Chain A
Amino acid sequence: MNYVPLSYWDLLLAAALLIINGGISWAFRLGLERSIAIAAARMVVQLSLIGIVLKFIFAQSSPGWTIVFALVMVVAAGVEIVARLNHRIAAWPLMGLSSSTLLFVGTFVTVFGVGFVVSPDPWYAPRYILPILGMILGNTMTAIALVLESLSEATHRDRAAVEARLSLGAHRFEALSGPLRSALRTGLTPMLNSMATTGIVALPGMMTGQIIAGADPVGAAKYQVMIMFLIAGATALGSLLAAAGGVLLLTDERHRLRLPPGFPTNENARV
């Protein structure tokens, strides 16, 4: 593989473009300077660390380290979902639902994709498993967050209608079918959009990476097609599980809405 390695000086040069972000924030008094600096710093630190950690794990090439790292990714994605959502669902049950959904979907789709489709040797080769798992988790995480946000938002907004259905003797899944449908649609749409436009408007990151690393563009495209299918399946499965789990978290065993009368706050949220 032949590509031009980047020096730290090159990175500093690229970072100079952030001056545009800072300039906009300053000119329009958006107050985003701090957030821009923190986000950029996080990005640099996280990516540097991941480079070092992956180098170590690739050197070990043991299934144990691969699994440990995969679990760390799952938990980090779960924490991110909790942080992204409004506080209509209590944090711990939400963390449990998000992480278990990510773990199941990530394992299922990655094992399917790497084990049966790519079939590298050995099957647990971390340089296949971890990047693919990462892409699956990243997209599934976004889908789960969108689904749960939409579900809790719609349930809160349509509370009167949901409770009217419950009053008429509906099961919680029937009563919440409206919010459930709109949540699933919200979760599935981004992947549909990206499948429809990929390759025209934007070259996907992995394909670009392979091409820069010197891979044959047709081979890189094939990999990208496979990844898109894996992501499509993963986001669909993740959306479904998150939506079903979300209905259970928003209601209790007597099929009552947990949204308390008045405003949902952490103190009076019933868990």
Chain B
Amino acid sequence: MLRVEQLQVGGLKPLTFEVADGECLAVQGASGAGKTLLLRALADLDPASGRVVLDGQERSEAPAHEWRRRIRYCAAEPAWWSDAPRGCLPAPVPKTKLDRMLRSLDLNPALLDRPVALLSTGERQRLALVRALLDEPKVLLLDEPTGGLDPQSTALVEELIKFQLLSGRSVVLVSHDEAQVERLSHARLVLSKEKPAAEAGASAAL
């Protein structure tokens, strides 16, 4: 269970919500509304006041790297720091498990040793998803996970997300695809910029 209380993100009014185990919360809003900032704040990649509690433990009580092992942020554009994707995998993983996950997204394991620069956008996107799931985080923060994918790959990714939900993980999903939100999510959170109280007060004083 992920519980968020009075989380202050960007210029938004404080956010309070819960995502139960096995549930998917869709985050919606116009571009620049703060969807990515919200995911980054949950993963503790940006400072944000307020409480984020996972299974009874507050964000600040866990060492930062432990927290991000349990709450995994998957950026819209995956980044790589090695020539081939294999160099960018977290600590050694059993080959069988890795191959199984790759094949579930229709990826050839040989792609792991190709130069990242030669992979297609869709291949990189799916490889990044596999990379994020290998150490089995508790919560997935997915930023446009099917952004660069064709309908076939999109369907495979959605299957994988559903499987993760069935295994008891929670998902916070940012997606512009209304049909996808319909298919995957149990609840929605719509972000919209409202004038923050402090700013309103300041302009009233003038």
Which residues of A approach B to under 8 Å, CB–CB?
Answer: 158, 160-171, 178, 252-257, 261, 270
Contacts and interface: CB of A to CB of B under 8 A. Distances in A.
B11 interface: no
B90 A168 contact: yes
Given A169-B135, A256-B44, A164 B78 contact: yes
B78 A166 contact: no
B45 interface: yes
B115 interface: no
B73 A167 contact: yes
18 contacts: A158-B79, A163-B75, A164-B75, A164-B78, A165-B81, A166-B45, A167-B45, A167-B72, A167-B73, A167-B75, A168-B68, A168-B72, A168-B132, A169-B65, A169-B68, A170-B65, A254-B64, A256-B44
Contacts of B78: 164
Interface string B40-73: 0001111100000000000010001110110011
Given A166-B45, A167-B45, A169-B135, A256 B79 contact: no
Interface residues of B, number: 26
B138 interface: no
Contacts of A170: 65
Interface of B: 37, 43-47, 60, 64-66, 68-69, 72-75, 77-81, 88, 90, 131-132, 135
A197 B70 CA distance: 53
B90 A169 contact: yes
Nearest to B39: A167
A73 to B, nearest CB: 38
B44 A160 contact: no
Contacts of A257: 45
A53 to B, nearest CB: 47
A165 B87 CA distance: 11
Nearest to A167: B73
Nearest to B68: A169
Contacts of B90: 168-169
A254 B65 CA distance: 8
B170 to A, nearest CB: 16
Contact of B47 (A161, A166, A169, A252): A252
Contacts of B80: 161, 164
Contact of B74 (A167, A169, A178): A167
A178 B106 CA distance: 31
A218 B116 CA distance: 55
Contacts of A165: 81
B47 A270 contact: yes
A254 B47 contact: yes
